[in-house]
Amino acid sequence: MNSWPRKQAAAVCMAALLLLISGCAALRGTDQGVAAADRILGPHTGGLVVSIIVPSVDRDGTPIAEDRTRAAVLRTEAELARIYGGYTTHTGTHGGWLDEKGAVEAEGHAAIVTAYGGGKDAGQALAAVRILAAALARELKQHCIAAIVNDRMYLIPPVE
């Protein structure tokens, strides 16, 4: 058996790896910033970055009772931990949107709960996120709850 093709393939792979490590090349279709982060920071977890914004006012602009908001944040944290194995919560964030008349509606203290998850069973995990967001929209009297997946926002309406 001739080992030349195997040795040649190994040499080509090693050369490509050295170019990637040195920063002289990037994988085709890979953002240079992502390639640099992988090279400098090391292996990443891969998969999804999923955030749910838990509001502090209802669809009419009425503040939601603090205990109800806290319960919604705790529920979101527990569910994202169950789905993805952990979460990070950012509280005290501020948000706003335009109402039907074009006026800015402002919200004082929303919470953003974020989880980082691997790629396996992504469909099942995202279905669970959708169910959670729709339930929160109903319980907190929202037109929708924002779920953000890898920098894309999805507006999830309440379940009926």
> Domain segments of the chain: what residues?
4-41, 48-156
Residue 6's pLDDT is 53
Would you write out the chain's pLDDT as a tens digit for each of its 160 residues? 455 555 554 444 444 444 444 444 444 445 787 788 778 887 776 688 999 999 998 888 889 999 999 999 999 999 999 999 999 999 888 777 777 888 887 777 789 999 998 667 888 999 999 999 999 999 999 999 999 999 999 999 998 7
C-alpha 98/C-alpha 8 separation (Å) is 61
- Residue 69: count other Cβ atoms within 10 Å of its Cβ: 20
pLDDT at 159: 86
Q: Which amino acid, residue 109?
A: H
Identify which of 122, 125, 120, 50 has the alpha carbon closest to the alpha carbon of residue 82. 125
The domain 48-156 having CATH identifier 3.30.70.120: the answer here is yes
Task: Pinpoint the alpha helices (H) of 23-146.
Answer: 32-41, 66-84, 122-139
3-state secondary structure (DSSP) of residue 14: helix
Amino acid at 69: T
For CA atoms 126, 127, 132, 133, give the dihedral sign: positive
Selection from 75, 78, 84 nearest residue 125 by Cα: 84
